[in-house]
Amino acid sequence: MKYTTIPNTDIKVSKICLGSMTWGNQNTEAEGHQQIDYATDQGVNFIDTAELYPVPATAETQGKTSEIVGTWLKKTGKRDQVVIASKIAGTGDYTAHIRTTGFSPASIKEAIDLELKRLQTDYIDLYQLHWPERDTNRFGVRNFKLDTKWEDNFNEVLLSLDNEIKAGRIRNIGISNENSWGTMRYLEESKHHNLPRLSTIQNAYSMLTRTFETDLAEVSLRENVGLLAYSPMAFGVLSGKYITETAADDSRLKLFPRFARYSSKQATEAAKRYLNIAENNNMTLAQMSLAFVNQRPFVTSTIIGATSLEQLNENIASIDVTLNKETLKQINEVHQVIPNPAP
């Protein structure tokens, strides 16, 4: 395994982070524990969860994923050997079953209270805002429209998180599904008001979704805010199993076809071209896809998810794959022809 540190901290984390959003839905508690056991045996020490999980989000399953992480922590007694990241859900119809009060001071306190109970721990290493409270483009939305009802509350949010850090309940903070303006506003507030500084940003990033490079990559590198790249396999599309029609009936996109972000004609065509590059270079598409993300200079850790130990083994093994200049050139040539087909 390869390691780095969460920016602006001394916390050492594996370059592969174990994602968990299938636990409690597609995966049982026992399977979740098996995945954690296997991943930690391979040197992974970083686990990402959220109060929203598992996905798809429902009132019946909400919080189950973190409970599975919590029972593993209690069973093994290995809390000091792993770094735990979690998130408070933003506002919207998708999360109305959790709360409708956004990132108010009371909401942040309540969310951390409940998450600590689920995780059976007294602190969270990295606490993230799952998406902006204001209505702005996220999850691939285009055609920007300004939210005129939202009132700037960056300072208030950071003050609330600062109180939680001082209480020892969270150690560091990050954001997710955020854009450049929001990222810089948080950095501005922390700089001018001596408030906690962002360590990470968790956004989608893969060979099919490289919009992070348009401006957030520069923010990341210049401001030292590391990317935790999620969906590096584009919901399994970049495993090649949907192209080759070998996907199991319980695969994610067959179970939940409404998650169509990575299934457009352009995304499918790009994936086919990437598959050809991988095969010509004696790699699986999954290995090439993850290796590509692992090597990006702004990526702190790549969040992988799997529903089987076989998938998990292949995903973690990508850390030992290094793409040469010619392979990267071929990938970029496809990107020039079919740029960001799943933004």
Band (pLDDT 50/70/90 cuts) for residue 294 is very high
Q: Any idea which residue has 């999620």 for tokens?
A: 230
The answer to whether position 343 is within a domain reads no
Identity of the residue numbered 290 = L
The answer to whether position 342 is within a domain reads no
pLDDT of residue 250: 61
pLDDT of residue 198: 98
Tell me the per-residue pLDDT of 299-322, one tens digit each, with 9 for 90 and over. Answer: 999 999 999 999 999 999 999 999
The answer to whether position 11 is within a domain reads yes
Band (pLDDT 50/70/90 cuts) for residue 281 is very high
Stretch among 208-217, 237-246, 297-306, 321-330 having the lowest mean pLDDT:
237-246
CA nearest to 179, candidates 225, 215, 142: 215
Q: Any idea which residue has 């086919």 for tokens?
A: 272
Band (pLDDT 50/70/90 cuts) for residue 262 is confident
User: Hey, CA dihedral for 162, 163, 166, 168, is it positive or negative?
Assistant: negative
pLDDT of residue 253: 59
> Tokens in use for 300?
């702190």
Band (pLDDT 50/70/90 cuts) for residue 249 is low
Alpha-carbon distance 231 to 205, whole Å?
A: 6
- The verdict on pTM exceeding 0.85 is yes
CATH assignment at residue 137: 3.20.20.100
The answer to whether position 213 is within a domain reads yes
The answer to whether position 118 is within a domain reads yes
The answer to whether position 99 is within a domain reads yes
The three-state DSSP-derived secondary structure of the chain is CCEEECCCCCCEEECEEEECCCECCCECHHHHHHHHHHHHHCCCCEEECCCCCCCCCCCCCCCHHHHHHHHHHHHHCCHHHCEEEEEECCCCHHHCCCCCCCCCHHHHHHHHHHHHHHHCCCCEEEEEECCCCCCCCCCCCCCCCCCCCCCCCHHHHHHHHHHHHHCCCEEEEEEECCCHHHHHHHHHHHHHHCCCCEEEEEEECECCECHHHCCHHHHHHHHCCEEEEECCCCCCHHHCCCCCCCCCCCCHHHHCCCCCCCCCHHHHHHHHHHHHHHHHCCCCHHHHHHHHHHCCCCEEEEEECCCCHHHHHHHHHHHHCCCCHHHHHHHHHHHHHCCCCCC
Number of domains in the chain: 1
Report, as an integer, the average pLDDT of 147-176: 95
Tell whether the model's pLDDT for residue 199 goes beyond 60: yes
The answer to whether position 129 is within a domain reads yes
The overall average pLDDT reported for the chain is 94
Length of the chain: 343
Beta strands 124-129; 12-14: pairing state = unpaired
The answer to whether position 166 is within a domain reads yes
Domain range enclosing 273: 3-337
Tell me the Cα Rg of the chain: 19
Tell me the per-residue pLDDT of 109-157, one tens digit each, with 9 for 90 and over. Answer: 999 999 999 999 999 999 999 999 998 877 777 788 888 888 999 999 9
Annotated catalytic residues are 53
